[in-house]
Structure 1
Amino acid sequence: MSLFMQAFGIGLAIAAPVGPIGLLCIERTLRHGPARGLVTGLGAATADAVYASIGATGMGVLIGWLTALATPLALAGSAVLLYLGVATLRRPPAEHAANAHEGGQLFAAYSSALALTLSNPMTILSFIAVFAGLAGGHAPDSADAVLMVLGVFCGSALWWLLLAYGGGRLLARLGSRGRQWLDRLCGLLLLAFAMGIAWRTLTPLLAG
């Protein structure tokens, strides 16, 4: 239980900082309701669990393969964020949440967040370092690895639940004009994240 709670805290800490997925969660909650925001976050939580699984089991070959793909994956993630940022700025004011429970829309929100989070394979290295510390510097056994991965997923999922439903209620009090300005801010920040990722990825290549 202690190992699970430590991994739970790690998952919560990884999810909590405001980043592109957090902005997507807020933007989709504003436009389509908390269900769409929640599944967006669960897509990110699933990606965290996938990378946590790799980090916990120490799959060296796969780690090396994903590390080699870090640059194209980062650029692909930057392009997706750029598209989402532009689309957010061009859309009309937030829609009503009438279609928030449509299965196809929910799956699209989930899968897009999953793909965006998986576009940062260097996250694996962070999980390897953290899990090595939790396991006392040794590779965890199967039971401990399951607890770690489950803890990371639950901690991350809790944050997205709080953001989509708790934060969604607060956002609803802003009024239509306030939500419109927040929507635009989300779009601009998504563009900033996209350009920042592209800059960090391309700078070493251009310098070389």
Structure 2
Amino acid sequence: MSLYVAYVMVGLAIAMPVGAITVEMTKQGLKNGFMHGWAVGIGGMTIDVLLIVALYFGLAQFLSLPFIQMPLWIIGAVFLFMLAYDSIKNADKDITLAGEKVEKSLFTTYRNGLIVAVSPGNLVFWVSVFGTVLADSYKGDSPNQFLIVAFGILSGILLHDIGLLTIVSLTRKVMNQQMIKWASIVAGILLLGFGCYFIFEFYVDVKSML
């Protein structure tokens, strides 16, 4: 039990820094409520679970290969640029104030979570950081320890998402449409910044290979 609790704390610490998924969760939570923000988080956690499975079966080593990572930087940047453009262009659209019926599909926001999570930043993070933590916990004679650690980390991320979206939902109740519109524009600018960072990392990788 102590091992599980310890890695719940690790999951919380990992989820605290603001990243592209956090930005998208907050934006959707403000525009369409708790469930839509959480759908983004669940989309991100879907990729996390798949990566845990890959680590468990020893497949994640392929993600660390340069010729696989480099195209992912560009693909991730393109996806983030698309989300940023949509966030800024449609900042005043699809806004549902507290108490109003939400028309937007949960699947759409879940898909956005998947898109953001399938980025080299997330994949490399899992391979380099999570990979080390989870690999150290995996022992041939006790594979259950690996599962406890993985479940603890995922639980920590889930607690972070619920806590964040609870705050966002409460904040949303006192925000008008204009305030939510500007929040969406800011979110788009942040996503654009993450996309530019991915391009920079691609440039660094290419330069290091020359």
Question: Residues 85, 181 of structure 1: CA spacing in aligned structure 2 closer, same or farther, 3 A cutoff?
Answer: same
TM-score calculated relative to the size of structure 1: 0.84
Q: Deviations over 1:170-191 (max 9, x none)?
A: 1332333322222211111110
Q: Which runs of 5 or more residues in structure 1 are unaligned? A: none
Q: Describe how 1:153-192 pairs up with structure 2 within 5 A.
A: 153-192=154-193
CA distance in structure 2 between the aligned counterparts of 1:147 and 1:156, rounded to whole angstroms = 14
User: Cα RMSD between the aligned structures?
Assistant: 2.3
Q: Specify the alignment match of 1:67 in structure 2.
A: 64
Q: Secondary structure at the match of 1:174?
A: coil
Q: Once the 2 structures are TM-superposed, how far is the Cα of residue 58 of structure 1 from its aligned partner?
A: 6.2
Query: For residue 83 of structure 2, what is the aligned residue in structure 1?
Result: 84
Q: Distance in 1 between matches of 2:53 and 2:149?
A: 8
Segments of structure 2 that go 5 or more residues without pairing to the other structure are none
Cα distance in 2 for residues equivalent to 1:13 and 1:49: 18
Calculate the TM-score normalised by the size of structure 2: 0.84
DSSP-derived class of the 2:169 partner: helix
Question: Where does residue 194 of structure 1 map in the other structure?
Answer: 195
Distance 1:141 1:24, change over 3 A: same
Which one-letter code corresponds to 1:128 in the other structure? G
Structure 1 residue 154, shift from structure 2 partner: 1.2
Report if aligned partners of 1:54, 1:124 keep a CA contact under 8 Å in 2: no
Residues 93/112 of structure 1: CA separation in 2 closer, same or farther (3 Å cut):
closer
1:11 and 1:151 in contact (8 A); partners too: yes
Paired residues in the alignment total: 200
> How much has 1:118 moved relative to structure 2?
3.1
CA contact (8 A) 1:52 1:124 kept: no
The question of whether the paired residues in 2 share the 8 Å contact of 1:85 and 1:191 is answered with: yes
Partner in structure 1 of residue 117 of structure 2: 117
What does residue 49 of structure 1 align with? 49
Q: 1:109: Cα distance to partner?
A: 1.9
After TM superposition, where is structure 1 displaced by more than 3 Å over at least 4 residues in a row? 52-55, 137-140
